[in-house]
Amino acid sequence: MHAHPYVLYYWPEIPGRGEFVRLVLEEAGAAYVDVGRRPPREGGGMEAVIAYWTGQREGHPIFAPPVLKHGDFVLAQTAAICHWLGCRHWLAPDDEPGRMHALELQLTIADLVGEVHDTHHPIAASLYYDDQKPEAARRAAHFTSERLPRFLGYFERVLDRNGGDALIGTHPSHADLSLFQALEGLAYAFPRAFARASEATPGLLALRERVRARPRI
């Protein structure tokens, strides 16, 4: 079923949304090629990612990286990729309701990541941070005071309702891996605000450390 290695197209110098996909691939022990991080002489690098993104290949148009290719199959959007990989590699529940709940959680994490992104680029992603500093400061203040505690509180409730070991089911899913990455990013980008907000979510902090300690992570 997995004869072909996966091929990931994402920007080489930032973790970004591509890191969520990498975590699922690593936890699955799947063979994959990270095109952006390969040298240009081997068909990799930034130019290879841009060429794929701008449609210089067969297949349906994609809006933005990350993109995952497996044989002739091409899929974009972080949440969709993580869900698809999770279902193929036993990182999602076996039943359809469970799998859809895992996707729901993955999409909520994507909402969180989008709001974090907007604290640095509230006007336009094409503008530098220095071009929108006042707006970014206002957006970040709103995010850290209102949205961050709400997101963390929600995932803490999900974790607690499921028994405290994983977001869904009895084993880590693709949603747990993505939440780990989101928590790492929050702690890096907003260290003081994250420390304050996470005082009320000890379960999430424990989940973060459990995922971090997994051998393949």
Contact 105, 180 (CB under 8 A): no
**Residue 23, both tokens:** 């975590």
Please state whether the predicted TM-score (pTM) of the whole model is above 0.85.
yes
Q: What is the pLDDT of residue 2?
A: 55
Query: How long, in residues, is the chain?
Result: 217
Contact 174, 82 (CB under 8 A): yes
Contact 47, 40 (CB under 8 A): yes
Q: What is the pLDDT of residue 51?
A: 87
Q: What is the DSSP letter of 122?
A: S
Beta bridge partners of 33: 7
Distance CA 113, CA 179 (A): 10
Q: What is the pLDDT of residue 1?
A: 47
User: First CA to last CA across the chain, in angstroms?
Assistant: 24
The CA-based dihedral angle spanning residues 80, 30, 181, 55, taken in that order and rounded to the nearest 10 degrees? -50
Query: What is the Cα 116 distance to its own chain's centre?
Result: 12
Q: What tens-digit pLDDT sequence spans the chain (217 residues)? A: 456 899 999 999 889 999 999 999 999 999 999 999 999 999 899 999 998 888 877 778 889 999 999 998 999 999 999 999 999 999 999 999 999 999 999 999 999 999 999 999 999 988 888 999 999 999 999 999 999 999 999 999 999 999 999 999 999 999 999 999 999 999 999 999 999 999 999 999 999 999 999 999 9
